[in-house]
Amino acid sequence: MYKYEGLLIHESHDDEGIIEVVEYKGVRSLHFGSSPRQSSMLLSDPHKLELDYVKAMTSWLLFKPTLDDDALLIGLGGGSLAKHLLQHFPDCRLKAVEYRKSVVKIARSYFDLPLDPRLKIIVDDGGEYVRLRADTYREHYSLLVIDAFDHEGMAASINNVAFYDACKALLKANGLLVINLWGGTHNPQFQQVSLWLARVFNWRTLFLPVRDRGNIIALAFNDYSPLYSMPELRARALSLEQQHQIDFPRFLKDLKKHNASTFNQVVKP
């Protein structure tokens, strides 16, 4: 059976709706009952990041090139980002919070998410999980990555200012938050979330529009994150491009272009 222009190799249902796995031209993708891809994997190279927005979410590497402690992922999907972190940072410890138990099973069965002692997966509501641990896990994580969408859009539990206050509390003093947003600058939800982020993180925020896509990746820096220099970032971008085969110099160029009012809050003028 064919669907979304590809071969449907799995379909199941849970309380939240449909889960589909489709293959097209050597790429396996996860769908939640609609054509947008929630996750994709190149069958010939399962660890290579496939989707442009997921590649853009690695732009945090420009500012934090090492990760040798704890990271928290809100939203697992097919596990692309989890696999990327496990592959490139052998000393990191990951927690991933995924709302749908069936999605975890699909990530294991169809998207090569490994059983790794460094990765702990928790089936829970990501927004609730973060808010309930803002005190007990205060200043615990160096990196917090949020990609929590369903077939209707951003998960409701992360669409409030209390969630972002809790995220800041969970981050170490020099910690970094990365979140996938959708809808462009004229979208009211994007405008609201970007304002919450800016206020919570004292305007130390940068936004990276994904070229030719509706995604915008936001980076938010905690209070004691260092100021970076452009020569340092340019050199790092070239090194990262060689290491990951991802266009980090373009990310840096676009970050500077689209953040005229806040860029100097993060990068030395």
Give me the residue spans of the domains in the chain: 47-266
Of the pLDDT bands very low, low, confident and very high (cuts 50, 70, 90), residue 263 is very high
Pick the CATH number of 47-266 from 3.40.50.150, 3.40.50.1950, 3.60.15.10, 3.40.50.300: 3.40.50.150
What is the arithmetic mean of pLDDT over 97-108?
97
Rounded to the nearest angstrom, the gap between the alpha carbon of residue 263 and the centroid of all alpha carbons in its chain is 21
- Could you give the percent of the chain with pLDDT greater than 70? 98
Tell me the whole-structure pTM to 2 decimals: 0.95
pLDDT for 183 beyond 70: no
Quote the pLDDT of residue 184.
66
pLDDT for 109 beyond 90: yes
Quote the pLDDT of residue 152.
67
Question: For residue range 126-157, what is the model confidence (pLDDT) as tens digits?
Answer: 999 999 999 999 999 999 999 987 656 788 88
